[in-house]
Amino acid sequence: MSETYRNLIGGKWVESATGTTFRNTNPADTSDVVGTFAASGPADIDEAAVAAKAGFEEWSRIPAPVRGDVLKRAGDLLTERKDELADGMTREMGKPLVETRGDVQEAIDTAYYAASEGRRLFSYAAPSELPQKMGVSIRRPAGIFGIITPWNFPIAVPSWKIFPALVCGDAVVWKPAEDTPWSAVKFVEILLEAGLPENVIQLVTGFGPEAGAPLTTHRWVTGISFTGSTAVGCKIAAACGEQAKLVSLEMGGKNAQLVLDDADIELALEGVLWGAFGTTGQRCTATSRLLLQTGIHDEFVDELVQRAEALVLGDGRKRGTDVGPLINEEARDKVAKYVRIGTDEGANLRTGGEIPADKRLAGGWFYRPTIFTGVEPAMRIAQEEIFGPLLSVLMVENLDHGIEVMNDVRYGLSSSIYTQDVNAAFQAIDRVDAGITYVNGPTIGAEAHYPFGGVKDTGNGHREGGWPVYDFFSDLKTVYVDYSGRLQRTQIDT
């Protein structure tokens, strides 16, 4: 018997007003039911926003360093429960334990960073143009934030948003992905245990159109922080635009790894295997294009295909598993659809392109790591985000051609170049249109304390991680103090 979980509103675990629920299953074995969760609707969001309003009144008055102490305790609890959480997360979304442990570690790093930010949250001061007058900007809590998150990093991505929001003094209504509600419940339990006052965070589970959309239009919600697909992100931005809400979007990618002839080939091979097939290719930073310079192309592909075929597919909770399942049937169908598209476009299917024959994998959403060669830049498999274990290999003549192909997509999240030539590396840093460029490392592997985000259709200019995210979740008030005892007219009496 699996457990039934409820929403958290106003510090209490409550049933959804809709009275309906949904079951969440293990993508490696769909007969394993993780739990039953509330399929919430607009009335639940409304109740959550009312509670968050009360939570904001209280929490925003607590000094930031004290708020930071709560996050320090949350980081300690995440550390204590790292293995137990990772196990449940793998059961819920499939990626191997080594990766879900990394997911929790990222949240731990983010918690400690946010905790220390409670004693910093610097703003700016500048000299006034008038005598006996001071000008300074101070940070204030911004309000109630709607947090809408995906399933591929069930704890890390929410932590990037929720921890900074909390240390800034905001209240939160969180609608996690429908595929990872268990992880969300555990995350919120930790925050409560860490001493977060009731009402400051509300958890409302359910589906996008029913539970996510009403959050983006609720009058008391100050802003939305979203990670997910570009299609949904743009809808959310439109809804937020109607009411002048803040909105931070982290969306699709079509990330490329460029390998020049002079690269350390072994390093580049390890990088692309990890970048393309880690998390079954389901990271927004996953390597979905490999650009190989002509001189190394054939040899590199032969070796890569062999290594991709040696990757062990299976339940991420079993030792020795390299690649887990896709998240659900729809995701696997999407990969299969792109295999047909790539084949029809004339690309050469070198390996994969099918559901594994192994009967032990029949209960889950597995798909073999897939590599296409002979891919041209205009093909759909070189342009569209697939979010699965499908790698498109393109041949490029030189650095300039490589950068041109790299930039020839609508997205701009992550990028990577493998070369021993320092000039080539710096050319790429200058000219690749992406929010992240790795030199001699794969396209995945963001650290919690650096800005994370992308350009073009990947985002709307905001960054998560590091210091810029604190700007999104706080307001700046400028304060002028005139202690001259007379009227001083700015721009006139100077």
The residues binding ligand ADP (CB under 6 A) are: 148-150, 175, 177-178, 207-209, 212-213, 216, 228-229, 232, 235-236
Phi, psi dihedral angles at 127 (to 5 degrees): -70, 140
Task: Measure the CA–CA gap between 76 and 348, rounded to whole angstroms.
Answer: 50
Q: Which amino acid is at 98?
A: V
Query: By C-alpha distance, which of 145, 154, 146 is closest to 94?
Result: 154
Q: Toward ligand ADP, which CB reaches closer, 79 or 229? A: 229
Neighbouring CB atoms inside 10 A of 221's CB total 25
Alpha carbon 115 to chain centroid, angstroms: 20
* Nearest-5° Cα angle at 325, 323 to 331: 130
- DSSP secondary structure of 100-150: HHHHHHHHHHHHHHHHHHTTT----EEE-SSTTEEEEEEEEE--EEEEE--
- Among the listed residues 47, 99, 210, 250, the single catalytic one is 250
Q: Toward ligand ADP, which CB reaches closer, 176 or 271? A: 176
Q: Toward ligand ADP, which CB reaches closer, 212 or 466? A: 212
Judge whether 234 counts as a catalytic residue: no
Q: Toward ligand ADP, which CB reaches closer, 59 or 338? A: 338
Q: Toward ligand ADP, which CB reaches closer, 38 or 236? A: 236
Query: By C-alpha distance, which of 171, 176, 107 is closest to 145?
Result: 171
CB of 332 to ligand ADP, least distance (A): 13
CB of 296 to ligand ADP, least distance (A): 34
Residue 157 tokens, joined: 């991505």
- Among the listed residues 106, 240, 284, 385, the single catalytic one is 284
CB of 76 to ligand ADP, least distance (A): 28
* Cβ atoms of 160 and 226 closer than 8 Å: no
Contacts of 472 (CB under 8 A, 6+ apart): 164, 223, 225, 246, 248, 462
Largest CA-CA distance found in the chain, in angstroms, rounded:
86
Task: Measure the CA–CA gap between 219 and 234, rounded to whole angstroms.
Answer: 19
CB of 108 to ligand ADP, least distance (A): 23
CB of 183 to ligand ADP, least distance (A): 12
Residue in the shown chain whose Cβ atom is closest to ligand ADP: 208
Q: Toward ligand ADP, which CB reaches closer, 9 or 326? A: 326
Task: Measure the CA–CA gap between 10 and 305, rounded to whole angstroms.
Answer: 53
Judge whether 178 counts as a catalytic residue: no
CB of 265 to ligand ADP, least distance (A): 33
Q: Catalytic positions, please?
A: 250, 284
